[in-house]
Structures are given as C-alpha cells and as structure tokens.
Chain A
C-alpha cells in the first residue's frame, strides 16, 4: 500500500471514551502532521513531528495527545472529548520539514463526539 493511510475512516465516541486515530505513511517522509478540519472553518494545524520529535503544538487541548513511535506512524489519542471536537481529522506527511515539498494527505477520520 502506498501513500498516507488513516484508520478508522469513521469514529463515533462518547465524551467519556478513549480512542486513538492512526496514521501510516509509506513514502519515506520525515515529517508528519495532524490537522483538524471543521465545517466552515479553515484548516487547523494541530501538531507537527519531524523524525519522531514533536516540533509544534498549536495550543491544542490536552484531551488530544499525539504519539509518533517512528517516522512512519503517527497516532492521535483522544479522551474526554467535547461535541465541538467533532470534525474531520487529517494526517499529512512531507519529505522534510519544509513546506516547499508540499504535503501528502490521508483520507481523514470523520470523528463524531456524542
């Protein structure tokens, strides 16, 4: 399988649940990103990882916890979420930590918090 793969594609969770989103890239890229896309809002960059090290956290609430065990895998652990956290969560990767290369995106996880 090539490209960036996100699982699950859809997730419904209660506010007291704990769940994780998974992202895997088969491109040999060194940087990975989590984005949140809400209806009628611009794309929000949440976290940036370079060679498994978190290099950016854009004031994201602690109920979102990222993990990057190696350069091919990225997780987003979720706990005690709020209904306003319902959104499409997109993972992306790039060759290096430079926007010049452009990003490759996964298909996203549609999260609904009930």
Chain B
C-alpha cells in the first residue's frame, strides 16, 4: 500500500495565481509529514515539515501546508506563484515498518508568465 500519494505529475500555474499541490498519506503513518522542493540539477531541499505542533505549517519562500487528519491530507499552497517557483515538489512521510522516509512521485510545477 502506498504511503503517500501525489496526483498529477505536471502542474501548470499562471504567475500570480494560487499554487496548490495535493498530498494524501496512509492513515497508518506516524504524524510527521514533509514537503521538499527540487530545483533543476539540484538536490532536494526541505520546504516545511509537520510535527504535530500546529496544523498550519509555514515554510520557506511563502509556502504553507495544512495537516488535516480527517482527510489524511497535507496539501501545499502558495497564494501567488512566482517564476522562481518552477521546480519539482515532493511530499514525504516516515514509513511505519522501518521508519525510512518515503517520497511521493513528485509534482513538476511550471509557471506560465
């Protein structure tokens, strides 16, 4: 069973428009959730993480994510897209069976001028 699901490999958004990337996780995972961003030819960089302190988590570059236990979701948003937000975004959760970090398939975000 997949632990984290990201739908839609490519997401196109107009500059200045809302960015919304969806992440749903298996209900059996521990309450730690992460979003990472990967710019071209770079490694993954931590955007934000949820550790049960607050359901709305603010990250770098104006991104935030809201943990919703009832929906088993941790969607990433940014009110106004910038050209520099063009990158690939990964949701990640620790697996119960071995505590390794499991990554979603990623969303490639394209920002249209």
Contact = CB atoms under 8 A, between A and B. Distances in A.
A14 interface: no
B101 A102 contact: yes
B94 A99 contact: yes
Interface in B10-63: 30, 32, 34, 36, 41-46, 49, 51
Contacts of A102: 32, 34, 46, 49, 92, 101
B21 to A, nearest CB: 16
B67 interface: no
B105 interface: yes
Nearest to A55: B98
Interface in A53-79: 56
B46 A100 contact: no
B74 interface: no
B89 interface: no
Given A42-B105, A100-B32, A102-B101, A90 B43 contact: yes
22 contacts: A6-B43, A42-B105, A42-B106, A43-B90, A56-B98, A56-B100, A88-B41, A92-B43, A92-B44, A97-B99, A99-B32, A99-B102, A100-B30, A100-B51, A100-B94, A100-B99, A102-B92, A103-B101, A105-B36, A105-B44, A107-B41, A110-B41
Given A56-B100, A102-B49, 10 more contacts: A4-B43, A42-B103, A43-B103, A97-B99, A99-B92, A99-B99, A100-B51, A102-B46, A102-B92, A105-B36
Interface of B: 30, 32, 34, 36, 41-46, 49, 51, 90, 92-95, 98-106
Interface of A: 4, 6, 42-43, 45, 48, 56, 88, 90, 92, 94, 97-100, 102-108, 110
9 closest A-B pairs by CB: A99-B94, A105-B43, A99-B101, A105-B44, A100-B32, A107-B43, A98-B99, A43-B103, A99-B99
